Amino acid sequence: MARERGVQVVTRWGHTLTDLDALLKRHPGGKPTTTYSSFLNHLDKQLKAVPLAVLNKPRQLPPVVDADLAGLGASAATSASSSAAPASDAADAFGVPSAAALCLGPATSGVILRGGETEALARMEACLSQQGGAWVAAFEKPSTSPTEIDPFGQHTRSTTCLSPYLKFGCLSARVLHERVAAVYAAHPKHAKPPTSLHGQVYWREFYYACAHGTPNYEMMAANPICRQIPWEDDPELLAAWREARTGYPWIDAAMTQLREEGWIHHLARHAVACFLTRGDLWQSWEKGAEVFEELLLDADPAINRGNWMWLSCSCFFYQYFRCYSPVAFPKKYDKDGAYVRKWLPQLKDFPAKYIYEPWKAPIADQKKANCIIGQDYPKPIVNHELKRALTQQKLPMSKKVLPRVEP
Ligand SMILES: Cc1cc2nc3c(=O)[nH]c(=O)nc-3n(C[C@H](O)[C@H](O)[C@H](O)COP(=O)(O)OP(=O)(O)OC[C@H]3O[C@@H](n4cnc5c(N)ncnc54)[C@H](O)[C@@H]3O)c2cc1C
């Protein structure tokens, strides 16, 4: 339409660090790599050829000349720095609709995150300035905690919690990269990829590049990088996982936080994804990804689908014997189970000894905690140890039975 009307169109890459077409040209055969370390080599070459640049905002926008857009009036044609309110006809046509106009009732829960670039930048700066930048410099993802009680609070966070802002474009990945680089410059002994904060931004770029260059990336069938695994299809098991009724408090607490807050820590995502797929329930990663897309504030097809393939050992990672225990894993971070007590209040008075395996508590303890297992909180839907042994046998076999589909 613009071309027909004689309007010059300038297209720029903005949502990712690099121009993904140019980045993929650096990959052998133009095909995305599924290995992070080789990806970093290609990315490094691309960034040397085309250094990252954060563009300045335009000082002035050209006037609107099209008669069809006359309704925008003077407001749309004002300079970018002007704070003039939009003309009311323009606001009707192009303004943000009210909650009432969208037929949304009053919010049922408190607002956890405010949207917009101003808020995004403030949150980013708050992270960057923690401990005078030392927090960012020392940031190593595996040392962060998945059981934080108030991840979006104003206190020191385990991770940045910037993902919803990056997803919606409120925060530019390039701005984040540039600001982190400035902190690194002041702290020469900073952490390095893959675990550093720059490393996290590169993971984002990695999955974007992969999604951009892979046909049918979002699904298992006809996806050339995805192992074809004969997952089972049990709607009951899927519903129990989705609705936090697995009987494993760590999994149910994380799925409750996901529903309530639209965000969970990366390692909690690992745990619930592993549990649904290769760890315990043997359900398809595509089903899990759909649930995440419905519930996550930061739901992003390239990142979400890529991570689900990783966790289910369908692509990128094949160490199927490394499995998350829904009992032992959370104990490493939260021995007393404060996170479980917050999200599953029916278990709040359970003794710490049984908080991750409440079905093992003697009935006297269950009564004392006012929570009878099987009545007030479900019994486990599967036996993790048994399931783990079975699924671990299945995974290596599945590679032989159903070879990878090539395009
Ligand atoms: C099964 C599964 C599904 C996921 N789905 C999504 C999703 O839909 N959207 C999403 O943004 N992230 C997703 N992630 C990746 C990661 O969990 C989140 O990006 C991270 O937890 C967001 O919190 P943060 O902003 O505090 O991250 P930080 O650790 O502070 O990292 C900063 C930014 O780097 C990027 N990043 C961090 N980790 C990853 C990663 N593993 N892969 C790609 N980019 C990363 C994100 O943009 C993040 O905001 C998923 C992970 C798993 C295991």
- For the chain, 407 residues long, give each residue's pLDDT as a single digit of tens: 898 999 888 888 889 999 999 999 999 999 999 999 999 999 999 999 999 988 888 888 877 666 555 555 444 444 444 444 445 566 667 777 777 777 766 655 567 788 899 999 999 999 999 999 999 999 999 999 999 988 887 656 689 999 999 999 999 999 999 999 999 999 999 999 999 999 999 999 999 999 999 999 999 999 999 999 999 999 999 999 999 999 999 999 999 999 999 999 999 999 999 999 999 999 999 999 999 999 999 999 999 999 999 999 999 998 888 899 999 999 999 999 999 999 999 999 999 999 999 999 999 999 999 999 999 999 999 999 998 888 888 877 665 434 443 32
Q: Where in the chain is the domain with CATH 1.25.40.80?
A: 12-55+115-213
Instruction: Report yes or no: 401 and 230 within 8 Å, Cβ to Cβ.
Output: yes
| Topology of the domain comprising 218-407 | DNA Cyclobutane Dipyrimidine Photolyase, subunit A; domain 3 (1.10.579)
299 vs 218: CA distance, rounded Å:
13
> Are the beta carbons of 274 and 263 closer than 8 angstroms?
no
Distance (angstroms) between ligand 1 centre and the Cα of 369 equals: 36
Nearest residue by C-alpha to atom 40 in ligand 1: 203
> Using a 6 Å cutoff on CB, does residue 163 contact ligand 1?
yes
Q: Which of 209, 247, 225, 244 is nearest to 387 (CA)?
A: 247
CA of 66 to the centre of ligand 1 (A): 42
Q: What pLDDT does 365 receive?
A: 98
Q: What local confidence, expressed as pLDDT, does residue 110 receive?
A: 64
Residue 400 has a pLDDT of 41
Q: Whose CA is nearest to atom 49 of ligand 1?
A: 163
Place of tokens 């390095």: 192
The whole-angstrom separation of Cα 275 and Cα 242 is 11
The whole-number pLDDT of residue 153 equals 75
- Integer angstrom CA distances of residue 119 from 125, 170, 194, 201: 10, 8, 27, 19
Cis preceding-peptide flag for 194 (omega within 30 of 0): yes
Q: Which residues are annotated as a binding site for FAD?
A: 159-163, 200-207, 298-300
303 ligand 1 Cβ < 6 A: yes
Ligand 1, from 195, 266, 274: best to mutate by most atoms within 8 Å of Cβ?
Answer: 266
- The protein residue whose alpha carbon is closest to atom 26 in ligand 1 is 161
Atom of ligand 1 nearest to the CA of 270: 53
What atom of ligand 1 comes closest to residue 127's alpha carbon? Answer: 30
Tokens of 76: 């749309």
265: tokens are: 């820590």
What pLDDT does 85 receive?
46
pLDDT at 69: 59
Q: Which residues contact 33 (CB under 8 A, 6 or more apart)?
A: 27, 39, 42, 210
Alpha helices (H) in 130-263, listed in sequence order? 134-138, 163-167, 173-186, 197-213, 235-242, 249-261
Give the position, in ligand 1's atom list, of the atom nearest the Cα of 296.
Answer: 8
Residue nearest to atom 41 of ligand 1 (CA): 203
Residue 288: which of 298, 274, 273, 307 has the closest Cα? 273
- Give strand pairing partners of 373: 377
Architecture of domain 12-55+115-213: Alpha Horseshoe (1.25)
Residues of the chain with CATH 1.10.579.10: 218-407
CA of 41 to the centre of ligand 1 (A): 21
Q: 39: Cβ below 6 Å to ligand 1? A: no
